[in-house]
Structure 1
Amino acid sequence: MKELLSFILFFGFCTAKGQITIDGCQEKAKANYPLIKQYDLIAKSSDYTISNANKAYLPQLSITGIGGYIFNGLPEFSVPGSTPGEKNKAQFIGIAQINQTIWDGGAIRTQKDIAKSAAEVEKSSVDVSLYSIRERVNQVFFGILLIDEQNKQLDILYDELKLGQKKVRLSKENGLAYTSDVDEVKAEMLNLEQKKIEFNYTRKGYVQMLSYLTGQQLDENVKLEKPIMVETVNNLSNNRPELSLYANQVKLIESRSSLNEVSLMPKVGLIGAGILIEPGVNFGPSKFNGFALAGLSVSWSTTGLYKNRNNKELDKIEIDKINNQQDTFLFNNKLQLAQANNEIEKQKAIIAKDEEIVKLKGNIKKSYQLMYDNGICAMNDLLSSMNKENEAIGNQAFHNVQLQMSIYNYKTISGN
């Protein structure tokens, strides 16, 4: 039942009109990548860290027990004229202290902010690592689409040659064609069959790679849906995960810098302490066994004053480093986007000529077909014109897929 449910979810998620989409495959590849488990681990780690910080408000109890042999003993006093009691060389001293924080200068709140910011940095880092999967899926997905277009044109040409083969055989039987003409058509058909075998094995390898990336077993004849062509990509904003990583890194440094302010604040709390001495200290008519006290505690350390200015400068330097990394990334990213946009424009310019080339190659083939039918040209010339027309049609389909791939490459570079 579990396996069946998993298959149904995948099939419904990755398919549209019975075909697998590139967006569905990218989501599946991301979910299948082992690094995805880091999200859950980061969330759990953050929860535990915050929970530990909250526990700082709980009463803190410390107990110390000291037992041993006293060589000289503790001082004792006796009433004049009385006989001192026998001294016990074995002594035990117990010390207990309990502290309850009332105000810690914002330390706990800052620690929780730091834990949350650190978790966001870790998640952003995972986002950056996972984003590279999109490019892999793009390459494999569009590789399959390119092979499918090539195979489609081979099938069209093969059917045309098969029909021509029947005509040539009939002409040969009527003494209007040579045996070599039949052989040339047959040889060309075998050549196409060879190309089909090569393409099919290459496609099989790509489908296996896509299966591995998505974690789902795909049939080698699986159909992929072509992405919807968009008119322009110039209005896309930059949503790369690296930008969120840099922003979260700055936020983490700002959270940590709050500790500088916390270190300047006094700490206020309640304190209780008790001391037990066994056997006690003899003070003549009375015996001292221990005491207890409770009250308000205030502590303040001047250490933060000496380091505060330097720590602020260090935090500023760290933020400047991150901003420099972001500027460098944006500079390189802008160059990549310019190259990707240039590739899109190039593909559009090439496609604009494809239709005219296909039309001209079709007219040339018709002319050779007419000449062959009238015995003016050889079969080899006709086959050559048929191959050139098929090549032009194949190039047109190839360029269309390349344009789609260039557009998706631009979207990937820009984080969309």
Structure 2
Amino acid sequence: MKQFLLFFLIFGLSTAKGQITIDGCQEKAKANYPLIKQYDLIAKSSEYTISNANKAYLPQVSVTGIGGYIFAGLPEFSSPGSSSGDPNKAQFIGIAQVNQIIWDGGATRTQKEIAKSTAEVEKSSVDVSLYSIRERVNQLFFGVLLIDEQNKHLDILNEELKLGLKKVRLSKENGLAYSSDVDEVKAEMLNLEQKKIEFNYTRKGYVQMLSYLIGEKLDENVRLEKPMVSESVNNLNNNRPEMNLYSYQLKLIESRSGFNEVSLMPKVGLIGAGVLIQPGLSFGQSKFNGLALAGLNVSWNTEGLYKSKNNKDLEKIEMEKITNQQDVFLFNNKLQLTQANSDIEKQKAIIAKDDEIIKLKVNIKKSKQLMYDNGICSMSDLLSSMNKENEAIGNQALHNVQLLMSIYNYKTISGN
């Protein structure tokens, strides 16, 4: 029992691993596309920008040193009865200043919000670019499935022709058929081989391109799993990544508008300053060597008052531009969805007639076979009826795959 369970587990894992699904291919293609690296770069860039914004509340220190030679000194002061010495022409002045922001009017908070919104916009832009890969995967995946269906029915027809060839050869040996009948069957079999060669080379190219997209080596004879999807697409919401992009672009403008409010606010901080003069300045009995002071610093730039209304109008215009872009996208997307839904309905209507067509073609072939066996019709007529029967059966399978492709195309256009 343990050996059986182990075998079942290994077989199940190997089978699951061997399944190539369209959803799996789309995820692998997205992960393999070089643009995917942008996500990490955007995250790191946003992290550094926010970190820099947080440093605005750290003390800001500035130090200035001035050294030189005084050609014309400052006036000297001396008390009565005291003598003035020779002034020192070499002079050094050092100035140090420390600023500590207490409140910056919300500038730091706004910068962090802008950094976050900018990162969301950039990530959404990458999402939009990566989404186009889904269409490429769909085309290649369903292209392989369509070829597989064609090959499957060519194989069935080829087996039927082999049986027919045996019967015709036997009839020829008994004097009931012509050698030209044998040649016609052989020629038809060669035509099938040509079609299979063409299909197989096309399939090989599709598989190679799919392998390159997903970054995984696929055998040229790999079998793809036919997707199981619901035929009802009318209740799907629009989940295209473009919708997130427009939303984050509007949010970014709202974040930037915070600077308009910040410009109207005063800035409050602490200030400390020190001045060192070496040698000092003599004022008679006293000598000035240095100065230190500290206090509260309040600044208010009125420039924002003059630009506030224009800035708000500009922000409103920018938001209207983005809203207009969103409306244009939704309009075009609605047209695409209407066309895709029309394709789905068309495929359903075509499929509804396939069973009846196949039934009639089967009856015609049986009739032609009976007529040929009785020497009433030619081998060409019989082969033609066989081809048309196979074509009808192949078309039914082809239409089923095309319906799946149309449904998946609708889901891709709607972002589902």
- TM-score range (shorter-chain normalised) is over 0.9
**Aligned residue in 2 for 1:34:** 34
Distance in structure 2 (CA, Å) of the matches to 1:288 and 1:116: 52
Partner of 1:358: 358
Which ranges in structure 2 are unaligned for 5 or more consecutive residues? 1-11
C-alpha displacement at 1:16, in angstroms? 4.5
How much is the aligned-residue C-alpha RMSD, in angstroms? 1.5
The one-letter code of the counterpart of 1:106 is G
**1:325-336 superposed matches below 5 A:** 325-336=325-336
Partner of 1:152: 152
Alpha-carbon deviation of 1:244? 0.5
Q: Separation in 2 of the partners of 1:208 and 1:275? A: 75
Kept after mapping to 2: 8 A contact 1:75/1:281: no
| 1:360-379 matches, cutoff 5 A | 360-379=360-379
**Which digits, 9 at most, give the CA deviation of each residue in 1:344-391, with x for residues without a partner?**
101111111111111111111111111111111111111000000111
Shift of 1:18: 3.0
Name 1:164's counterpart in structure 2. 164
Aligned twin of 1:240: 240
Deviations 1:309-338 (A, max 9, x none): 111111011001110111111111111110
CA drift at 1:14: 12
Cα shift at 1:229: 3.1
Partner of 1:269: 269
Number of the residue aligned with 1:254: 254
1:301 maps to a residue whose letter is N
1:68 aligns with 2:41: no
Query: Could you tell me which amino acid in structure 2 is paired with residue 196 of structure 1?
Result: K
Question: Amino acid of the residue matched to residue 324 of structure 1?
Answer: N
Question: Which residue is 2:391 aligned to?
Answer: 391
- Residue 413 of structure 1 is matched in structure 2 by 413
Q: Give me the whole-angstrom Cα distance separating, in 2, the residues matched to 1:95 and 1:75.
A: 22
Tell me what 1:107 maps to: 107
- Using structure 2 for the length normalisation, give the TM-score: 0.95
Give the deviation of 1:398 after TM superposition: 1.0
Alpha-carbon deviation of 1:114? 0.4
Task: Confirm whether residue 84 of structure 1 aligns to residue 87 of structure 2.
Answer: no
| Residue 193 in structure 1 maps to residue 197 in structure 2 | no
Give runs of aligned pairs for residues 43-54 of structure 1, distance below 5 A.
43-54=43-54
**Using a 3 Å threshold, how does the CA distance of structure 1 residues 39 and 17 change in structure 2: closer, same or farther?**
closer
The percent of aligned pairs where both chains have the same amino acid is 83
The answer to whether the 8 Å contact 1:14/1:24 transfers is: no
- The residue number in structure 1 matching 2:138 is 138
Aligned counterpart, 1:229? 229
For the residue of structure 1 that corresponds to 2:144, the secondary structure is helix
CA deviations on 1:286-318 (whole Å, 9 max, x unpaired) are: 211111111111111111111111111110110
CA distance, structure 2, for counterparts of residue 223 and residue 108 of structure 1: 57
Structure 1 residue 73: deviation in Å?
2.2
Instruction: Name segments (4+ residues, structure 1) moved above 4 Å.
Output: 12-17
Secondary structure of the equivalent of 1:239? Answer: coil
SS in 2 for 1:223: coil
Choose 92-101 or 16-25, whichever is displaced more: 16-25
Number of corresponding residues? 405
Task: Give the TM-score taking structure 1 as reference length.
Answer: 0.95
SS in 1 for 2:217: coil
The letter for the 2-side match of 1:30 is K
Q: Give per-residue Cα distances to partners, 1:132-186, cap 9 Å, x unaligned.
A: 1001111111111111111111000001101111111111122221111111111
Within the alignment, does 1:210 sit opposite 2:239 as a pair? no
Paired residue type of 2:253? I
Between stretches 149-158 and 371-380, larger displacement belongs to 371-380
The AA in structure 2 aligned to 1:266 is: P
Q: Is contact 1:15-1:24 (8 Å) kept?
A: no
Query: Any gaps of 5 or more consecutive residues in structure 1?
Result: 1-11
